[in-house]
Chains A and B, each alone.
Chain A
Amino acid sequence: MSDATQPVIEAAGVTVVLGGSPIVRGVDLTIGQGEVVALLGANGSGKSTLVRALVGVVPIERGSIRLLGAPLGRAVPWQRIGYVPQRVTAATGVPATAVEVVLSGTLHGHHLVPPRDARDRARAALDAVGLAAAADMAVQTLSGGQQQRVLIARALVRRPDLLLLDEPVAGVDVPSQRAFATTLAELAAGGTTVLVVLHELGALAPLIGRAVVLRHGTIAHDGAPPPPQAEHADPDHVHLHPHDGDRDPAHDEAGVTPTVRWQR
């Protein structure tokens, strides 16, 4: 199982159909141990859906997925996998402290009761994302960036060998992005495999060894991180963010999108 040559993620011919439309189409993706891979692509290119399929949140129509050598399902050692979903908030209808939210990260598979040292580990994980002082505060009183970091701590608390993050730095201020990059660098140096969905490499650029670009649900590029479109550096470049509105048809025509544009 812990064979170093065995791929951590092995996806073959993965197709995901949601609401009748194929969102991910025949994706083959193999990620080896210790790799730090960025999953890039436009809004609606299927990045999030692919990651959600990899962790079994959405069902796959065709293809196969193996995580850490086990086929997706009960056989997967879930305690070795950390997942950070794309979220605007960590709050729900009832108040919960940051520690309580992170504690749920200590559960996995049929381990439904937190281990004895769970509280200490939760505090350590919050410390790792720079939120030690907010541990006992209600998450709904934290800022959006802080709530995002609480969710990252929830994935880190189980000390994962494989970390999947869905836009962990969307809406997070630049200093927090750098702090997050430092945390991620430490994890990668320790041998953690990372798959991170991003809109732009940003502060994480130095860490990323490989980039996979999705376009219309299929892989358009797999290899060295491509440089961003030149206009990204242009001071007049209008940086559109997700959820701002509809896609720009002019860019759709070219098969690319306003948010992330890559040289072809």
Chain B
Amino acid sequence: MISDLAGMLGDPLMQRALVVACLVGLVAPVIGTYLVQRRLSLLGDGIGHVALTGVALGWLVGNLTNLVPKDALAIPGAVLAAVVGAVVIELVRSHGRTSGDVALALLFYGGIAGGVLIMSLAGGSNANLVGYLFGSISTVSTQDLVLTVALSVVVLVVGVGLRAALFAVCHDEEFARAAGLPVRALNITIAVVAALTVTVAMRVVGVLLVSALMIVPVAVAQLVTSSFRRTMLTAMAIGVVVCVSGLTITYWHDASPGATIVVLAIGLYALVAAVRPLVVRARRGGTRDPHPDVADDVVLTSGDPR
């Protein structure tokens, strides 16, 4: 058992994969917390689909310029496309011409269709896209690792460092505007950081499941917390645990790491949701009156007038 673990940790491929999984688990819920707060849980999915077009564009440019390997520009292309897509969604949302819902739907379809179309122009096959659709953490290169670390640092610095301002904008945009806060800049910051997070997480779970890593840990955390700060911290911890354990499981059992991680996270949600009512009831003792002690607005003729 111990030697098995040592073997896993000694494998350089697995070392890189573990570092990436750890970082993604830590970073994805940070921005996910803001997205859940403003009820934009599906934004990550929309950005992910656009990122796929970016992957194909990177591939196309790489092919045209005879780069080796052909996919050297795939991740930079994804970053660029995701950022542009995120900013466009934010502008559409804030101008209110189209509902956020419809804007997201357009991105979903446009992103996938654009990706497949451009990929065929680039001379690649849809098989080349599958790695991005479902993740390919087992083939993380040193270059990927460096990019992941850099993007993760950016997301953490912005998402945690500016949390008071980002909280204010996500909690009550009208109040933030009336406080003179740079609301548009903050909104675009959230969109861009979400885009960076998507491209980082894409490596681990793929475009189709990217949003799960941002949203599900937050969904689990908010079942058991009462503060924003603790929700974010708990979600980050859950993210790291499910990413690392999912990856570890697939080291021994042949399964898709991305899918395993997401299934673990959703299983955890189901477990916590089932256990929570029992714990809450036990803690409250079932006797406490939940109503605040406020005098009645009316005079009651019978009974205690207070």
Residues in B278-295 with C-beta less than 8 Å from chain A: 291-292, 294-295
Contact present for A104 and B172 (CB under 8 Å)? yes
Chain B residue with Cβ nearest A86? B174
| Number of chain B interface residues as a range | 35 or more
Residues in A95-134 with C-beta less than 8 Å from chain B: 95-97, 100-101, 103-110, 112-114
Residues from chain B with a CB closer than 8 A to the CB of A94 are 33, 36-37, 218, 222, 228, 231
A263 to B104, CA, bound (A): 52
Query: What distance in Å separates the Cβ of A106 from its nearest Cβ neighbour in chain B?
Result: 8
Does any Cβ of A come within 8 Å of B153's Cβ? no
Does any Cβ of A come within 8 Å of B38's Cβ? yes
Does any Cβ of B come within 8 Å of A55's Cβ? yes
Pick from B135-143, B160-168, B237-245, B258-266 the stretch touching chain A.
B160-168
Residues from chain A with a CB closer than 8 A to the CB of B175 are 83, 85, 104-105, 151, 154
Residues from chain B with a CB closer than 8 A to the CB of A83 are 175, 178-179
Given A94-B37, A136-B227, A108:B181 Cβ within 8 A: yes
B interface footprint on A57-97 (CB within 8 Å = 1, 0 otherwise): 10000000000000000101010010101010010111111
Given A52-B174, A57-B177, A100-B167, A112:B162 Cβ within 8 A: yes
Given A83-B175, A92-B170, A92-B171, A100:B227 Cβ within 8 A: yes
A105 to B162, CA, bound (A): 15
Contact present for A107 and B168 (CB under 8 Å)? yes
Contact present for B181 and A107 (CB under 8 Å)? yes
A110 to B38, CA, bound (A): 22
Residues from chain B with a CB closer than 8 A to the CB of A143 are 291-292
Does any Cβ of A come within 8 Å of B225's Cβ? yes
Does any Cβ of A come within 8 Å of B97's Cβ? no
Given A55-B178, A57-B174, A113:B292 Cβ within 8 A: no
Does any Cβ of A come within 8 Å of B112's Cβ? no
Does any Cβ of A come within 8 Å of B176's Cβ? yes
Chain A residue with Cβ nearest B223? A95
Pick from A39-47, A173-181, A211-219, A223-231 the stretch touching chain B.
A173-181
Q: Which of B36, B167, B172, B177 sits near A56, CB closer than 8 Å?
A: B177
Binding site for A on B (CB under 8 A): 33, 36-39, 41, 161-162, 164-165, 167-168, 170-172, 174-182, 186, 218, 222, 225-229, 231, 291-292, 294-295, 297
